[in-house]
């Protein structure tokens, strides 16, 4: 076998392989482009194999063989033109003209008896060179509007077509000028090899080449991601992603559906301004979301018959949809669509997946950025609110001093006066109440600002609770302290006073004057337990969950009878927690309520105090004046 | 003992209220609206105790304490303020105690009895 023969067999094998690949693709996802690709490679293979097959059958001199070769060769540039037309419609005049001329040229081959005279032989050569060149030009032209793998593949097909035209041109030259045949033969061999390689790369590029061709696009997507993330709004992000998807896939348009977990649907913001809701699994896009795979169809009407009418109306035929998923979090789906099937469907599907991946990163980062900004804004608003509350409370404190002192002075000088005594008492009581409210308020604000400090000292809790109960004022005689033994530990005296007086004060306030209030104190599990039980109005189930929240007030509380800010229990819980414990409540409407506070008796407190050795020193000198104000 | 108690506060209502309480208890009282006026009063007649507001227009509590130290005068000072930072401020100027506003007659008299000899 000579080298030339070997090359001949090799090219036959390659074309046969390409044809098989194209045929498999055609069966898997039929489309006009797939038909044309298969036809093109099939015709080349048939022309190349025809003579050998005929030789095997002893028909190498049959005139039908000549006609078949003639018609096949003449059909090649026409099919190429159809492929270019599949990618982007060519002017209809050119398409009709090409078909008309093909019929004429083919007819010449069929009608003129063989062997064909020289001038007749030139006809198909001229035809193939002319139309093949035009088709190549059309491919090169269209490839400029594409990116990545598609662009390279179209360029390869264009080069192959040009080489095909060259091969036939050389054949024509050798017919007209037989003297040039040896040189032409060598050139033809080279062109034939190039042609084969070009079509191979164009119609069935190997994976590594695809990846290499795709890399610049990947790079570009990665490079522009930070800028996309900085887009001011999510709408802007989506708009740019859609634009990129359309550009890179050559689709007519792209749509993004975002997953709305609350509604359980994919939400599409249509270019028209409308909003479209879609269930996972519904339409092509919903299927990509549900299966988390790239879904492609070259015939949406057939593949999603339940929505055939809508697709037909919208003029959508080909769709590639890819899930937008970041770190396993399903964010949505990206779908590109076109009125005609894509030339290289696998490229479009791959590109859609790439852009969807970028979209996932961008959407996720954008959302995170926005969340961070919201958290910052919230923190700032909270800080402003705390500052404001703090300033207001302090501004109230100064005039309150004047009112308190003057009310007391009035009481001293006119307290015995029958006409004024009641008013002065009321003035003093209200001023004192206002003072307590402001203090409660400030404690809450300071706690939120982290300004509240614990001042612990070794104390017997039983004695402390007894003193606190003694200080509750009217109703003291209803309160019964049940404590078997001392409960020594480290406690903040003022805070524990506040805790006991809040709980006991509430118990007295929300129960009838003839019912007892029981305060129990015991030690267990290293904790001090303090419970306060009343037999009063109780707390409704709804309120029970909210009872320790700031500014919460029970539904069954008569505001005129029992004024308050709703901070008492919130502060009580703070005190318990500051002491390493907590507070719980059980209650029954109309039967009564029990609050139980736990306090860690020392270890927790000592751990907390260990960090601040200067505290006790400052305390001893400054204690007497403010400590007694609560 | 004829040393007065010096009340320094820019709020006249506070000055008057505190003066009334102290005078009712038979204690001599001087008042000043800011640090500068307080220094003048001190030079004229040494007080036994200074009740000092911190935030005042003119010479404030810190300025007053600084001048006092510069002049080598040693006096018990009780800080009288509505601010949350009362304790820190008191430590800063070396005050003997803090009287947080709002305070009542009882707290005022406790402080005066403890630190006013």
> pLDDT (tens digit, 9 = 90+) per residue, A187-197?
877 887 888 78
**Inter-chain CB proximity B102 and A626 less than 8 Å:** no
> Beta-carbon neighbour count of residue A566 at 10 Å?
16
**Inter-chain CB proximity A401 and B97 less than 8 Å:** no
| DSSP H or E stretch at residue A302 | helix A300-303
- The whole-angstrom separation of Cα A271 and Cα A287 is 22
Residue A597: per-residue pLDDT: 94
Residue A451: per-residue pLDDT: 59
Nearest to B52 by CA among B114, B111, B117: B111
Residue B68: per-residue pLDDT: 92
Phi, psi of A317, rounded to the nearest 5 degrees = -120, -45
- The whole-angstrom separation of Cα A256 and Cα A285 is 9
Distance to chain B for A401, nearest Cα, Å: 4
Residue of A nearest to B108 (CA): A625
Comparing CB atoms, the residue among B14, B90, B99 nearest residue A398 is B14
**Inter-chain CB proximity B17 and A394 less than 8 Å:** no
Contact of A428 with chain B, judged by CB distance below 8 Å, is answered with: no
Preferred mutation among A434, A621, A625, A627 to probe B, highest tally of B CBs within 10 A: A625
Cα within 13 Å of Cα(A301), Cβ side: 15
Contact of A451 with chain B, judged by CB distance below 8 Å, is answered with: yes
Q: Which string of DSSP letters, residue by residue, matches A241-275?
A: HHHHHHHHHT-SEEEEEEEETTTTEEEEE-TTS-E
> Beta-carbon neighbour count of residue B78 at 10 Å?
22
Comparing CB atoms, the residue among A401, A621, A624 nearest residue B101 is A401
* Average pLDDT over every residue of A401-413: 90
Q: Which string of DSSP letters, residue by residue, matches A231-244?
A: -SSHHHHHHHHHHH
**Residues in chain A within 8 Å Cβ distance of B20:** 405-406, 409
* Average pLDDT over every residue of A301-328: 86
Nearest to A37 by CA among A171, A162, A204, A170: A204
* Average pLDDT over every residue of A309-314: 85
The answer to whether the beta carbons of residues A324 and A331 sit under 8 Å apart is yes
A520 versus A550: which is more confidently predicted? Answer: A520
* Average pLDDT over every residue of A110-126: 83
- The whole-angstrom separation of Cα A401 and Cα B105 is 9
The answer to whether the beta carbons of residues B36 and B60 sit under 8 Å apart is no
Residue A625: per-residue pLDDT: 39
Phi, psi of A333, rounded to the nearest 5 degrees = -150, 145
**Inter-chain CB proximity B102 and A394 less than 8 Å:** no
Q: Which residues of A241-273 are buried (b: 16+ CB within 10 A; e: fewer)?
A: bbebbbebbbbbebbbbbbeeeeebbebbeeee
A26 versus A523: which is more confidently predicted? Answer: A523
Residue A386: per-residue pLDDT: 67
pLDDT in tens, A90-115: 888 999 999 999 999 999 888 888 77
pLDDT at A613 over 50: no
- The whole-angstrom separation of Cα A234 and Cα A254 is 16
Q: Give me A525's structure tokens.
A: 């599990």
Average pLDDT, chain A: 81
A386 versus A125: which is more confidently predicted? Answer: A125
Show the beta-strand stretches assigned E in A100-227.
Answer: none
Comparing CB atoms, the residue among A395, A404, A625 nearest residue B104 is A404
Distance to chain B for A261, nearest Cα, Å: 46
- Which stretch of A282-286, A464-468, A589-593, A625-629 has the lowest confidence by average pLDDT? A625-629
- The whole-angstrom separation of Cα A221 and Cα A358 is 7
Contact of B56 with chain A, judged by CB distance below 8 Å, is answered with: no
Preferred mutation among A390, A401, A435 to probe B, highest tally of B CBs within 10 A: A401
Residue of A nearest to B16 (CA): A402
**Inter-chain CB proximity B111 and A625 less than 8 Å:** yes
* Average pLDDT over every residue of A191-212: 81
**Inter-chain CB proximity A401 and B17 less than 8 Å:** yes
The answer to whether the beta carbons of residues A434 and A400 sit under 8 Å apart is yes
**Residues in chain A within 8 Å Cβ distance of B106:** 628
**Inter-chain CB proximity A625 and B82 less than 8 Å:** no
- The whole-angstrom separation of Cα A294 and Cα A292 is 7
Comparing CB atoms, the residue among B14, B84, B90 nearest residue A442 is B84
A207 versus A359: which is more confidently predicted? Answer: A359
Mapping DSSP onto H, E and C, the string for A419-473 reads CCHHHHHHHHHHHHHHHHHHHHHHHHHHHHHCCCCCCCEEEEHHHHHHHHHHCCC
pLDDT at A612 over 50: no
Contacts of B79 (CB under 8 A, 6+ apart): B52, B54, B61, B86, B89, B90, B93, B95, B97, B98, B99
Residue A481: per-residue pLDDT: 92
pLDDT per residue rounded down to tens, chain B (117 residues):
589 999 999 999 999 999 999 999 999 999 999 999 999 999 999 999 999 999 888 899 999 999 999 999 999 999 998 887 788 899 999 999 999 888 989 899 999 999 987
Distance to chain A for B100, nearest Cα, Å: 6
Residue A594: per-residue pLDDT: 94
pLDDT at A628 over 70: no
> Position of tokens 């614990």?
A454
The answer to whether the beta carbons of residues B65 and B50 sit under 8 Å apart is no
As a whole-number percent, the residues of chain A with pLDDT over 70 amount to: 90
Which residues numbered 85-114 in B keep a CB inside 8 Å of some CB on A?
Answer: 86-87, 90-91, 96-108, 110-111, 114
- The whole-angstrom separation of Cα A238 and Cα A253 is 13
**Inter-chain CB proximity B13 and A625 less than 8 Å:** no
- Which stretch of A96-100, A286-290, A458-462, A551-555 has the lowest confidence by average pLDDT? A551-555
Residue A623: per-residue pLDDT: 37
**Residues in chain B within 8 Å Cβ distance of A403:** 102
Contacts of A216 (CB under 8 A, 6+ apart): A148
A415 pLDDT tier (thresholds 50, 70, 90): confident
> Position of tokens 């500068």?
B36
pLDDT at A589 over 70: yes
What distances in angstroms separate CA A447 from CA A376, A452, A455, one per listed residue?
20, 5, 14
Sign, CA torsion A504/A509/A512/A514: positive
pLDDT in tens, A457-495: 888 999 999 988 987 877 889 999 999 899 988 888 888
> Beta-carbon neighbour count of residue A71 at 10 Å?
18
> Beta-carbon neighbour count of residue A421 at 10 Å?
13
What distances in angstroms separate CA A111 from CA A103, A129, A142, A266, A471, one per listed residue?
12, 22, 37, 62, 125
**Inter-chain CB proximity B82 and A397 less than 8 Å:** yes
The answer to whether the beta carbons of residues B111 and B99 sit under 8 Å apart is yes
Kindly report the pTM of this predicted structure.
Answer: 0.50
pLDDT in tens, A51-85: 778 878 877 778 888 888 888 888 888 988 888 88
pLDDT in tens, A431-465: 888 887 787 777 776 666 565 677 788 889 999 99
A134 versus A559: which is more confidently predicted? Answer: A134
Residue B26: per-residue pLDDT: 92
A12 versus A626: which is more confidently predicted? Answer: A12
**Inter-chain CB proximity B91 and A622 less than 8 Å:** yes
Sign, CA torsion A599/A604/A608/A609: positive
A33 pLDDT tier (thresholds 50, 70, 90): confident
Preferred mutation among B13, B54, B102 to probe A, highest tally of A CBs within 10 A: B102
Nearest to A42 by CA among A21, A27, A60: A21
**Inter-chain CB proximity B102 and A401 less than 8 Å:** yes
Residue B38: per-residue pLDDT: 94
Distance to chain B for A519, nearest Cα, Å: 30
- The whole-angstrom separation of Cα A261 and Cα A331 is 9
A595 pLDDT tier (thresholds 50, 70, 90): very high
Contact of A408 with chain B, judged by CB distance below 8 Å, is answered with: yes
A169 versus A410: which is more confidently predicted? Answer: A410
- The whole-angstrom separation of Cα A27 and Cα B4 is 110
The answer to whether the beta carbons of residues A582 and A572 sit under 8 Å apart is no
Contact of A435 with chain B, judged by CB distance below 8 Å, is answered with: yes
pLDDT in tens, A519-544: 999 998 888 999 999 999 888 887 88
The answer to whether the beta carbons of residues A142 and A88 sit under 8 Å apart is yes
Residue of A nearest to B98 (CA): A625
pLDDT in tens, A232-249: 888 888 888 888 888 778
The answer to whether the beta carbons of residues A288 and A264 sit under 8 Å apart is no
- The whole-angstrom separation of Cα A211 and Cα A207 is 6
> Position of tokens 């045949």?
A181
**Inter-chain CB proximity A405 and B91 less than 8 Å:** no
SS3 of residue B50 by DSSP: strand
Residue A605: per-residue pLDDT: 46
* Average pLDDT over every residue of A385-396: 72
pLDDT at A609 over 50: no
Preferred mutation among B10, B23, B76, B101 to probe A, highest tally of A CBs within 10 A: B101
CA dihedral A170, A172, A177, A179 (to 10 degrees): 50
Instruction: Give the β-pairing of A318-326 and A329-338.
Output: antiparallel
- The whole-angstrom separation of Cα A42 and Cα A76 is 10
**Inter-chain CB proximity A409 and B101 less than 8 Å:** no
A556 pLDDT tier (thresholds 50, 70, 90): low
The CA radius of gyration of chain A, in Å to the nearest whole number, is 45
The answer to whether the beta carbons of residues B59 and B35 sit under 8 Å apart is yes
């Amino acid at each position: 076998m000579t080298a030339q023969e070997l090359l001949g067999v090799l090219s036959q094998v390659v074309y046969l392989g390409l044809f098989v690949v194209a045929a498999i693709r055609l069966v898997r996802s039929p489309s006009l482009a797939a038909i044309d690709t298969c036809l093109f490679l099939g015709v080349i293979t048939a022309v190349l194999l025809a003579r050998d097959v005929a030789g095997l059958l002893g028909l190498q001199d049959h005139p039908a063989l000549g006609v078949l070769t003639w018609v096949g060769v003449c059909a090649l540039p026409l099919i190429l033109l159809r492929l270019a037309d599949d990618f982007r419609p060519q002017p209809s005049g050119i398409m009709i003209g090409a078909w008309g001329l093909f019929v004429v040229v083919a007819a010449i081959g069929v009608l003129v008896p063989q062997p064909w005279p020289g001038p007749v032989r030139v006809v198909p050569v001229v035809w193939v060179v002319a139309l093949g060149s035009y088709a190549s030009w059309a491919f090169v032209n269209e490839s400029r509007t594409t990116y990545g793998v598609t662009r390279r593949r179209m360029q390869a097909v264009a080069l192959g077509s040009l080489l095909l035209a060259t091969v036939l041109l050389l054949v024509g030259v050798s017919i007209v000028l037989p003297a040039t045949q040896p040189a032409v033969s060598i050139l033809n061999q080279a062109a034939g090899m190039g042609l084969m390689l070009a079509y191979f790369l164009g119609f069935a590029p190997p994976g590594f080449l695809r990846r290499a061709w795709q890399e610049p696009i990947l790079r570009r997507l990665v490079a522009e991601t930070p800028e996309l993330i900085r887009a001011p709004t999510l709408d802007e992000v989506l708009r740019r992603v859609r634009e990129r998807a359309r550009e890179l896939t050559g689709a007519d348009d792209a749509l993004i559906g975002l997953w709305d977990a609350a509604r359980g649907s994919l939400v599409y913001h249509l270019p028209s301004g409308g909003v479209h809701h879609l269930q996972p699994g519904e339409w092509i896009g919903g299927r990509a979301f549900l299966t988390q795979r790239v879904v492609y169809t070259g015939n949406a009407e057939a593949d999603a018959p339940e929505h055939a009418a809508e697709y037909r109306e919208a003029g959508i035929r080909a769709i590639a949809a890819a899930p937008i998923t970041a770190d396993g979090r399903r964010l949505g789906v990206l779908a590109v669509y076109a009125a005609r099937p894509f030339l290289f469907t696998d490229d479009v599907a791959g590109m859609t997946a790439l852009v969807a991946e970028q979209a996932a990163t961008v959407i996720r980062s954008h959302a995170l950025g926005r969340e961070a900004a919201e958290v910052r804004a919230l923190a700032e608003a909270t800080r402003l609110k705390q500052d404001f509350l703090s300033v207001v409370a302090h501004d109230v404190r100064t005039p309150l001093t004047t009112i308190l002192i003057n009310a007391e002075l009035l009481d001293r000088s006119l307290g015995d006066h029958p006409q004024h005594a009641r008013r002065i008492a009321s003035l003093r009581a209200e001023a004192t109440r206002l003072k307590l409210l402001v203090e409660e308020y400030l404690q809450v604000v300071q706690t939120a600002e982290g300004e509240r400090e614990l001042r612990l000292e070794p104390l017997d809790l039983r004695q402390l609770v007894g003193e606190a109960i003694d200080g509750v004022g009217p109703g003291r005689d209803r309160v019964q302290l049940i404590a078997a033994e001392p409960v020594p530990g480290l406690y903040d005296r003022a805070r524990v006073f506040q805790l006991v007086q809040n709980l006991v004060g509430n118990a007295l306030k929300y129960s009838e004057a003839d019912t007892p209030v029981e305060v129990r104190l015991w030690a267990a599990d290293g904790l001090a337990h303090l419970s306060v039980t009343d037999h009063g109005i109780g707390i409704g189930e709804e309120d029970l969950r909210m009872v320790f929240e700031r500014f919460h007030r029970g539904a069954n509380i008569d505001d005129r009878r029992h004024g308050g800010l709703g901070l008492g229990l919130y502060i009580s819980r703070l005190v318990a927690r500051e002491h390493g414990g907590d507070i719980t409540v059980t209650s029954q409407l109309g039967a009564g309520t029990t609050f139980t506070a736990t306090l860690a008796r020392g270890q927790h407190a000592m751990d907390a105090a260990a960090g601040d050795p200067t505290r006790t020193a400052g305390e001893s000198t400054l204690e007497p004046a403010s400590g007694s104000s609560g | 003992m004829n040393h007065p108690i010096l009340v320094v506060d820019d709020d006249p209502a506070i000055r008057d209220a505190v003066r009334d309480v102290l005078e009712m208890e038979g204690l001599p009282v001087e008042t000043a609206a800011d640090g500068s006026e307080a220094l003048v009063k001190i030079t004229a007649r040494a007080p036994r105790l200074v009740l000092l507001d911190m935030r005042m227009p003119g010479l404030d509590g810190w300025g007053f304490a600084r001048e006092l130290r510069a002049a080598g005068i040693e006096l018990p000072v009780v800080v009288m303020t509505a601010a949350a930072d009362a304790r820190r401020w008191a430590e800063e100027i070396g005050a003997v105690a803090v009287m947080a506003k709002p305070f009542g007659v009882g707290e005022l008299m406790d402080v005066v009895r403890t630190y006013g000899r």
